[in-house]
Amino acid sequence: MEIRLSLFSLSFFLLFLLDASSAQMPGFVSFDCGGQENFTDDLGLKWTPDSQLAYGETAMIDVEKETRKQYKTLRHFPSDSRKYCYTFKVIRRTRYLVRATFLYGNFDKNNDYPKFDISLGATLWSTIAISNASTIQVRELIFLASSPTISVCLSNASTGQPFISTLELRQFNGTFYSTAYEDQYYLSVSARINFGADSETPVSLRESQHVSDSVSNNSLAKDLFYSSQILHSKVL
């Protein structure tokens, strides 16, 4: 696995460069942010700590009912003018799903609910506004890579500190999730609906045409997406 870390003082980017092809299968990366060791979860997913990241600090959360190891820790960053980025090597003209999760868990012991931005390269992806310390917020999108790297960045905290619990990258094969406008737009998850689920036990759904694991409660789940424009596609 090739990992390079650098600080660009002019653009205020912190980069963590990871070769996605060296994960458990091509284009399959699962980061346990703030974690300390590799492990495999109950769904069979292999998680890797981001412990080689030289910037930011790690913390434990305080949520009694949360027992999943990947959510017990997080990495947080200063509330300053910089962008703190995880940057992955990808394959041009290939579709990827990126999933980021955020579980505050009062890690700073201040009950100061953070509000900050997450971006895909130079394009604003979403604003993370924490309103409950024990609720996991999830952001997912699908994009067509137009350059050999892609950055997921945290910045612009108006309250609290930017943080992240997990970060995942999934490579799609073939034409799965192909759209006519994918050079200008990415697809962002609007909802994941479970039909006929008889329990809340999560399962990992795997389509024969790709290796994405859509975590859901039922094998008849339906993913709903909306499209958002990539404002600066040249940097992706």
CATH at 102: 2.60.120.430
Residue with tokens 């006929």: 196
Judge whether residue 4 has pLDDT over 50: no
Q: Does position 16 have pLDDT exceeding 70, yes or no?
A: no
What was the pLDDT predicted at 12?
Answer: 36
Distance, in Å, from the CA atom of 189 to the CA atom of 34, rounded to the nearest integer, reads: 25
Domain count, the chain: 1
Q: What is the mean pLDDT of residues 207-222?
A: 40
Greater pLDDT, 143 or 226: 143
**Predicted model pTM:** 0.78
- pLDDT of 18 over the 60 cut: no
Q: Are 17 and 3 in contact (CB under 8 A)?
A: yes
The parent domain of residue 116 ranges over 3-182
Instruction: Give a yes or no: residue 196 inside a domain.
Output: no
Who's near 93: CB < 8 A, 6+ residues apart?
A: 144, 145, 146
Relative to beta strand 46-49, strand 203-205 is unpaired
**Is 236 domain-assigned?**
no
| Sign of the CA dihedral running 169, 173, 178, 183 | positive
For residue 112, is pLDDT > 70? yes
Within a domain: 65 = yes
126 closest CA partner among 108, 102, 105:
102
Give the SS3 label for residue 126.
strand
Q: Which amino acid is at 38?
A: N
Residue whose tokens read 């041009």: 92
Residue 120 lies in a domain: yes
- Contact in structure between 19 and 1 (CB atoms under 8 Å): yes
The residue whose two tokens read 């060791």 is: 37
- Cβ burial 102-111 (10 Å sphere, 16+ → b, else e): bbbbebeeee
Q: 189 in a domain, yes or no?
A: no
Strands (E), 160-211: 163-164, 166-171, 185-193, 203-205
Q: With respect to residue 205, please indicate whether it lies within any of the assigned structural domains.
A: no
Q: Per-residue confidence at 220, pLDDT binned at 50, 70, 90?
A: very low
Radius of gyration of the chain, Cα coordinates, nearest whole angstrom: 17
